[in-house]
Chain A
Amino acid sequence: MSTEPYPYDRRHLTRYSFVSKGKRGAIVKIVEFSPTSNKQIINMGFGDLMPDGSIDDESNSNNNDLVKVMATMISIIKDFTNQYPSYKIVFTGSSQKRNILYQRILRNYYIEFSRDFTITALEPTANGHYQEVPFDMENKNYYAFFIKRK
């Protein structure tokens, strides 16, 4: 990805922020890595910082800077996994519609992502459970995505 990422701030070991600047103005983005019930898996949360200090992870910013935001996300994930390379990172959308959007982004940036990361995803099984499978660009029914530093 040739686009320069936004500069980001790491206030804690696990929380990053940066400012998206586009047609809708400046929007503060927060990326947070948090433990899950599985000790080897870290959740990556991503959303817009609201004026009241809360996070909106369902918004569509439409700030016309998706490529730059993605470059920044990759940069942040690399920074985090430089410190914690053994962890697998999971992220999921707030809805299946959002998961389809995430899949489209992963597909579009697959070459860049797969250079440094192994990408897998969670798909439903026939018996109502889920299984982790290698990321398939054609599958549209993923419930979560995993990335792990190679």
Chain B
Amino acid sequence: MAQLKVDTGKTKSKTERTVIVTKSKEPVKSTLFAKKIKKVNALLSNASLLQS
């Protein structure tokens, strides 16, 4: 999850205000499509697949 850390600058001068954006490069831990993956797994478990 991207984390947005904002320094409001209340104790600093205007020029010292910083905005730090950190983007995660890790895979997501949970899926938004769990129901769909369950359906896909059911199809795959019952399927003959071509060799890649």
- CB contacts under 8 Å to B, within A11-44, are 11-15, 30, 32, 34, 36-38, 40-41, 43
Q: Which residues of A contact B (CB under 8 A)?
A: 11-15, 30, 32, 34, 36-38, 40-41, 43, 45, 47, 54-55, 57, 88, 90, 92, 94, 120, 122, 125, 128-133, 143-144, 148
Pull 7 A–B residue pairs with CB atoms less than 8 Å apart, ordered by A. A11-B24, A43-B40, A45-B32, A45-B37, A47-B33, A128-B46, A144-B40
State how many residues of chain B have any CB contact under 8 Å with chain A.
25
The answer to whether A94 and B47 have CB atoms under 8 Å apart is no
The answer to whether B28 and A88 have CB atoms under 8 Å apart is no
Give chain A residues whose Cβ lies under 8 Å from the Cβ of B52: 40, 88, 148
Interchain CA distance A113-B25 in the complex, whole Å = 28
The answer to whether B33 and A55 have CB atoms under 8 Å apart is yes
Interchain CA distance A125-B48 in the complex, whole Å = 10
